[in-house]
Amino acid sequence: MPTALITGATSGIGAAFARRLAADAYSLVLVARDELRLIRTADQLKLRYGVPVEVLPADLATDEGLAKVESRLRDGVDLLINNAGFGNPGHFPDVPVEREARMLKVHCEAVLRLTLAALPGMRERERGAIVNVASVAAFFTRGTYSASKAWVVNFSESAAAELRDPRIKIMALCPGFVRTEFHQRASMDSSTIPGFMWLKADDVVRDAMRDLALGKRVSIPDLRYKAVVAIGRLIPRSVQAMVSQRIGR
């Protein structure tokens, strides 16, 4: 039975990955900060899908938390989903530097360190895959959040190119607006986002798994957001920034 480790596994896209992979008969390792919520999530998955589920409480904004997950990854996994992430309330440069640094640690340092921890075992077994959850925001200019997600996309593409091993896949997943707890936790007003722009987490994961099987290095779920990114590449950065300010992160 293959094993998948998922960070940020108790809600949103992470929870959708857990459901999909459990249905695909993966053994799961779930990582999040809230231990009680992890245990509840694990119990539900075991009851519904009958797969082994391990819980690993860890705060990826701390060196201690990162070290715990790195240690588990060195024991070997077949699939790593680097999904943990968050948005800061407020706008650059008004957000306190401590919050900005915490975001960079979770979005960038954690992705780097966990990828490096998982790869040796995958290379030894000559198989494996890593999905780094970024955002459509990576292709636009919107403060530290979009900058950190742009790093995730560039890192994923660069790591895949440097690895040069088709048996080990590394992919950046770049969803648009998804119905999760993300906006509420970041105190973001999502009322101005048109209803037709929202995606379902389960649909995002379905598209991600399809693109991973196809060997894509960047996955942009849904034709709507493929069009948004394609058009965005054709317009000046100054116009992108103005639009981003109007519709949010």
**Over the stretch 19-76, which tens digit does the pLDDT of each residue have?**
999 999 999 999 999 999 999 999 999 999 999 999 999 999 999 999 999 999 999 9
Task: Check if 145 is active-site.
Answer: yes
Residue 26, domain extent: 3-247
| pLDDT for position 231 | 85
Average pLDDT for 212-241 = 85
| pLDDT for position 249 | 44
The string of pLDDT tens digits covering residues 151-177 is: 999 999 999 999 988 999 999 999 998
Report in angstroms the alpha-carbon separations of 48 from 16, 42, 44: 14, 10, 6
| pLDDT for position 187 | 46
Which residue among 26, 49, 145, 225 is the active-site one?
A: 145
Q: Return the structure tokens found at 237.
A: 């950065």
Number of domains, the chain: 1
> Pairing relation of β-strands 218-219 and 168-173?
parallel
Q: CA 227, 230, 235, 240: dihedral to nearest 10 degrees?
A: 70
| pLDDT for position 190 | 57
Residue 230 has pLDDT above 70, yes or no: yes
Q: What CATH number has the domain bearing residue 136?
A: 3.40.50.720
In this prediction, what percent of the chain has a pLDDT beyond 70? 88
Residue 106 has pLDDT above 70, yes or no: yes
User: Degrees (nearest 5) of the Cα angle 184, 185, 188?
Assistant: 50
Decide if 131 contacts 215 (C-beta within 8 A): no
The string of pLDDT tens digits covering residues 73-99 is: 999 999 999 999 998 887 788 889 999
| pLDDT for position 39 | 97
Decide if 52 contacts 30 (C-beta within 8 A): no
Q: How confident is the model at residue 228 (pLDDT cuts 50, 70, 90)?
A: confident
The string of pLDDT tens digits covering residues 107-150 is: 999 999 999 999 999 999 999 999 999 999 999 887 899 999 99
Q: Considering only CA atoms, which of 5, 15, 8 is closest in space to residue 71?
A: 5
